[in-house]
Structure formats: structure tokens, C-alpha cells
């Protein structure tokens, strides 16, 4: 098994998508890349801790590659907007890849260069690539949020379309 850590807006969106990928055994929403020693949702939302909302993904690289996870990551959020995803604004919503080893760092940097060169995006990607230092799991009520709250307004308007995008663009790996 391997681990990947991504931030690209609200962690509910990322978690819901990555939970639907073959080879992914667990997805945990949490906080990382900040300074506060005990971040909470309220503190992170204040924008004063430096943390990003992220997910930590456990996956089997024999079933789904890290490169494919990166493809999904870049497809389901806008990596060209600094500290924003849709109506969600603040550094906690930044696009960030927290690598676990040098191989992940190189793959992430390569995918960013590939995306910038492809012309898919009209602006350069602003995704940060940093080493993972510490990951803090979010409060229990954030875990499996979409699965537990599918009729909630935000889930219907924002999360569900991202899950649908996974199934449309990556049917070979979608559950």
C-alpha cells in the first residue's frame, strides 16, 4: 500500500471522489501544511493556522497508480486559482500536493509541467508541491461527509458534480 496527500478546495469534495476509485482502501479528511499544533475546523477556517484542508489516500499502486491519482486530482478541481475553489476562499482551500517521497515529488512536478504545456488550462497551475510533515485527521463529522449527507445542499450542488465527473472521465477506475 502507498499513501498520497492532496488538497484542492473543500476536503468533502476530494474525499467523495477518491472514495470512488478502484484500489483506494481509505480516504481521511484532515489538515496539513500549517503552523498550529492542534488544528480544528474552526481554527483552519479562520485562515490563521496556515493549514490546508487535505485528504490522505491509502491506495494499492498495483491497482491504481499515483500518476492516475494525480490525473484525477487535476481534473476535479481548478488548479489555476490561488487560495480558492468556487465560492470557497482562503488559504485553507489552496491547491497542494504533499509528497511522501522523492518519487511522488517528481511525478507531481512532471504532471504540473504536463498540464501547463497541454493547453487544457488557460492559466498556469498554482498547485504547491511540498513535503508532508504532519497530517491531522479532521473531526469525525467530516469523515465520509458526502456518503453520510448526500441530500445536503452543498453536497448536491458542489460535491455530486465532481463525483459524476470522475465517473464520466475515468470510468476505468471508478467504482
Residues 175 and 168: their CA atoms lie apart, in Å, by 12
Residue 10 annotated among the catalytic residues of the structure: yes
Helices (H), the chain: 11-18, 41-45, 66-76, 102-118, 145-148, 153-154, 160-169
What the block records as the C-alpha cell of 54 is: 487535505
Burial grade of 102 (CB within 10 A; 0-12, 13-18, 19 or more): exposed
| Catalytic annotation, pick one of 10, 13, 45, 155 | 10
Catalytic residue positions? 10
Amino acid at each position: 500500500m502507498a499513501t498520497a496527500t492532496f488538497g484542492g478546495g473543500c476536503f468533502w469534495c476530494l474525499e467523495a471522489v477518491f472514495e470512488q476509485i478502484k484500489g483506494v482502501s481509505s480516504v481521511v479528511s484532515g489538515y496539513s501544511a500549517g503552523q498550529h499544533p492542534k488544528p480544528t475546523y474552526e481554527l483552519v477556517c479562520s485562515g490563521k493556522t496556515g493549514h490546508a484542508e487535505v485528504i490522505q489516500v491509502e491506495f494499492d499502486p498495483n491497482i491504481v497508480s499515483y500518476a492516475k491519482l494525480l490525473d484525477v486530482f487535476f481534473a476535479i478541481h481548478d488548479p489555476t486559482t490561488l487560495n480558492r475553489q468556487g465560492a470557497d476562499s482562503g488559504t485553507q482551500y489552496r491547491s497542494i500536493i504533499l509528497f511522501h517521497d522523492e518519487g511522488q515529488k517528481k511525478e507531481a512536478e512532471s504532471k504540473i509541467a504536463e498540464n501547463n504545456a497541454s493547453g487544457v488550462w488557460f492559466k498556469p497551475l498554482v498547485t504547491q508541491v511540498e513535503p508532508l510533515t504532519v497530517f491531522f485527521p479532521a473531526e469525525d463529522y467530516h469523515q465520509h461527509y458526502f456518503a453520510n449527507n448526500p441530500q445536503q445542499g452543498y453536497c448536491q450542488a458542489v460535491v455530486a458534480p465532481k463525483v459524476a465527473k470522475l465517473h464520466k472521465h475515468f470510468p476505468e477506475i471508478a467504482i
